[in-house]
């Protein structure tokens, strides 16, 4: 059974395809992957990895709106032969590739975001607006610790915004040294606290890297060794956080690590209604018009935008909701879950 060869050819064809413009090339690679599995069907009929790959291809074709008819990619050059210690040691710092090799299918991913007031979109697609003040953990697992510090959006207001983010990438074998990233209002650096821009001097140090998307306003941190990407943005007087995490990474925590806003959302006592009450700093009709310019679909991102503009009087909050929606568009594995309506 040559299913592992099909898997490795698919990985090689899609390894560098990222972002919203990958569509046609990604579909071509999936059709080629499907063709390869059909050619091995006779000898692989009893192989679990083969059946897992077939189902995984079908799911990915549906999620990415790929047609079964169309061009297929030419076979990729064969990867170099594994070293005497085996494939795993070569790829231990490339999570997606090693997962595909081991399981015969790509890993699953989950998305979480915190932006604006703050509003939390959890890994389970729940959506809460929180009045949390002080420091709260967004994530606390075996690989990552992310803490958001909030302060009042305006004097005398119950609403809060994220004013500081601390992200700790925990020490991992030969991949990375422990790295700490910290962003504050008007200080969104394109480097870790120690001044480095990658995971350090270990063999897999390049599997953790910071990319500056907009100077002082938007950075992306790629942690390929755990199949995870993080975006940190500043819009107006608030910070936002978005993450695309491998399912295995998102679930790697114990019962003691039970308070994680990305997992359970806001505690019930800290949740707020997004219906503006009392006198806001901007009329609701004005806020709706401003938000509609950036967010034509009246989903929870639109509702959050209106709430934030009414509460704060700051039109820059339209950019916070828009940025969170753009991150979700990029990070969500299932495009049908992009918009949430409540």
Percentages (nearest 5) of helix, strand, coil residues in the chain = 35, 25, 40
- H or E segment and range at residue 289: helix 284-294
Per-residue pLDDT of the chain (342 residues; tens, 9 = 90+): 778 888 878 887 877 776 666 778 888 888 999 998 888 888 887 777 788 888 888 888 888 888 888 877 655 444 444 444 444 444 789 999 999 988 888 999 999 999 998 999 999 999 999 887 889 999 999 999 999 998 887 666 666 789 999 999 999 988 999 999 999 999 999 999 999 999 998 889 999 999 999 999 999 999 999 999 999 999 988 999 999 999 999 999 988 887 899 999 998 988 888 775 555 778 999 999 999 999 999 999 999 999 999 988 889 899 999 999 999 999 998 888 999 997
Rg (CA), the chain: 22
- Rounded to the nearest 5°, which phi and psi values hold at 260? -140, 115
Q: Do you find a cis peptide bond into 8, omega within 30 degrees of 0?
A: no
Rounded to an integer, what is the distance from CA 282 to the centroid of its chain?
32
> How far apart are alpha carbons 38 and 191 in whole angstroms?
46
| pTM to 2 decimal places | 0.74
Pick the CATH number of 109-270 from 3.40.190.10, 3.40.1000.10, 3.30.1370.60, 3.40.50.2000: 3.40.1000.10
Asked whether the CA dihedral 294, 310, 262, 228 is positive or negative, the reply is positive
Among 327, 325, 321, 320, which residue's Cα sits nearest to residue 339? 325
Task: Return the domain boundaries, the chain.
Answer: 2-64, 109-270
> How far apart are alpha carbons 76 and 62 in whole angstroms?
24
Alpha helix ranges (H) inside 15-64: 23-39, 41-44, 48-63
Strands 208-214, 134-140: pairing is unpaired
The CA-based angle 284-138-307, given to 5 degrees, is: 0
- H or E segment and range at residue 101: helix 95-103
> How far apart are alpha carbons 80 and 327 in whole angstroms?
35
Residue 246's DSSP bridge partners are 109
């Amino acid at each position: 059974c040559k299913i592992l060869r099909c898997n490795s050819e698919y990985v090689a064809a899609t390894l560098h395809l990222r972002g919203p413009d990958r569509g046609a090339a990604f579909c071509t690679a999936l059709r080629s992957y499907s063709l390869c599995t059909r050619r091995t069907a006779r000898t692989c009929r009893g192989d679990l990895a083969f059946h897992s790959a077939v189902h995984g291809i079908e799911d990915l074709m549906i999620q990415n709106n790929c047609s079964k008819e169309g061009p297929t990619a030419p076979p990729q050059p064969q990867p170099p032969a594994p070293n005497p210690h085996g494939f795993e040691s070569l790829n231990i710092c490339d999570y997606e590739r090693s997962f595909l090799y081991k399981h015969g299918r790509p890993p699953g991913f989950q998305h979480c975001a915190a932006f604006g007031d703050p509003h939390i979109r959890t890994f389970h697609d729940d959506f809460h607006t929180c009045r949390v003040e002080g420091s709260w953990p967004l994530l606390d697992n075996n690989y990552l610790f992310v803490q958001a510090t909030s302060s009042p959006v305006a004097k005398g207001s119950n609403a809060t915004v994220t004013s500081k983010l601390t992200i700790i990438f925990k020490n991992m074998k030969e991949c990375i040294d422990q790295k700490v990233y910290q962003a504050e209002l008007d200080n969104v650096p394109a480097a870790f606290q120690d001044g480095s821009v990658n995971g350090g001097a270990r063999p897999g140090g390049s599997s953790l890297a910071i990319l500056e998307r907009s100077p002082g306003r938007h950075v992306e941190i790629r942690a390929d060794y755990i199949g995870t990407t993080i975006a940190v943005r500043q819009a107006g007087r608030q910070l936002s956080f978005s993450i695309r995490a491998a399912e295995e990474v998102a679930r790697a925590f114990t019962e003691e690590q039970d308070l994680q806003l990305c997992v359970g959302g806001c505690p019930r006592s800290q949740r707020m209604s997004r219906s503006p009450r009392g006198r806001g700093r901007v009329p609701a009709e004005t806020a709706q018009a401003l938000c509609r310019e950036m967010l034509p679909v009246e989903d929870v991102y639109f509702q959050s935008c209106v709430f934030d503009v009414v509460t704060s009087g700051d039109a820059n909050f339209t950019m916070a909701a828009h940025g969170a929606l753009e991150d979700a568009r990029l990070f969500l594995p299932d495009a049908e879950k992009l918009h949430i309506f409540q």
